[in-house]
């Protein structure tokens, strides 16, 4: 089957631009959903079960970054497809709004779960050490959720602004652009009768 002709690179260009704030919003949401400390537990005799927390594993961090890249990559892929669709510029704009809303729709739940996984705060330093403790329990989670929501608003705002600009340009081209004037045909020159007498060599025999 022959693919439809390309309508221009506009859809994929705007998809790649909107994917920037979408990626960081997705990264914050994925961190809340998946990040967890490395936990060790052992029996401490009279002290019962002892627990220590360490930084997340490299595998855990890599998983977060890979999953955070999925929404923007999906958006760029849809932008590529939209280059073959008439008025396809609006497709990635609408898609970006839907994906941005889907990415953060459970951040409130993920915020609570992340807080439960870090009982002494994300810095893993208990409040009994005030000189080194930088984050209270749940403080970083609240900041991360606010950042994810703020980036979601930026994503939606850029998508709406792009769609409105293109709609304005389309209306301008469609209804307010002057039509080209048809060029006049070439006029034949008008000459006076040739009154020059023929020379002797040109006289008829």
Our measurement of the distance from residue 181's CA atom to the centroid of its chain's CA atoms, rounded to an integer in Å, reads 42
Question: Would you say residue 188 lies in a domain?
Answer: no
Residues contacting 13, CB < 8 A, separation 6+: 79
**Is 201 within the bounds of a domain?**
no
End-to-end CA distance of the chain: 76
Give pLDDT, residue 42.
Answer: 77
Would 197 be classed as within a structural domain? Answer: no
Would you write out the chain's pLDDT as a tens digit for each of its 205 residues? 555 666 678 889 999 999 999 999 999 999 999 999 988 777 766 667 777 878 899 999 999 999 999 999 999 999 999 988 888 889 999 999 999 999 999 999 999 999 999 988 888 787 777 767 787 888 999 999 999 999 999 999 999 999 898 878 767 776 776 665 556 555 555 555 555 665 555 555 5
The two tokens of residue 106 are 């459970």
Range of the domain at 139: 10-176
| pLDDT on residue 79 | 93
Q: Is residue 1 part of a domain?
A: no
The reply to whether 35 falls in a domain is yes
Please give the tally of structural domains in the chain: 1
Residue 65 resides in a domain? yes
Q: What share of the chain is helix, strand, coil (3-state, %, to 5)?
A: 60, 5, 35
Closest to 56 measured CA to CA, from 31, 89, 23: 31
Q: For CA atoms 135, 140, 142, 147, give the dihedral sign.
A: positive
pTM score, two decimals?
0.77
Let me know if residue 157 belongs to a domain: yes
pLDDT at residue number 147: 96
Query: Residue 2: what pLDDT?
Result: 59
Residue 75 near residue 99, CB atoms below 8 Å: yes
């Amino acid at each position: 089957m022959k693919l439809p002709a390309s309508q221009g690179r506009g859809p994929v260009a705007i998809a790649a631009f909107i994917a920037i704030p979408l990626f960081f919003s997705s990264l914050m949401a994925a961190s809340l959903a998946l990040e967890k400390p490395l936990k060790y537990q052992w029996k401490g005799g009279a002290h019962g079960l002892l627990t220590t927390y360490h930084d997340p594993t490299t595998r855990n961090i890599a998983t977060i970054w890979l999953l955070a890249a999925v929404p923007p990559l999906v958006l760029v892929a849809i932008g590529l497809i939209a280059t073959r669709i008439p008025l396809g510029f609006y497709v990635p704009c609408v898609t970006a709004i839907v994906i941005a809303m889907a990415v953060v729709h459970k951040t409130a739940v993920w915020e609570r779960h992340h807080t439960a996984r870090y009982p002494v705060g994300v810095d893993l330093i208990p409040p009994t050490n005030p000189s080194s403790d930088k984050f209270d329990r749940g403080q970083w989670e609240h900041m991360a959720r606010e950042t994810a929501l703020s980036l979601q608003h930026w994503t939606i705002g850029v998508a709406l602004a792009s769609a409105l600009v293109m709609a304005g340009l389309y209306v301008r081209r469609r209804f307010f652009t002057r039509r080209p004037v048809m060029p006049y045909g070439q006029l034949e020159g008008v000459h006076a009768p040739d009154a020059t007498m023929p020379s002797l060599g040109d006289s008829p025999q």
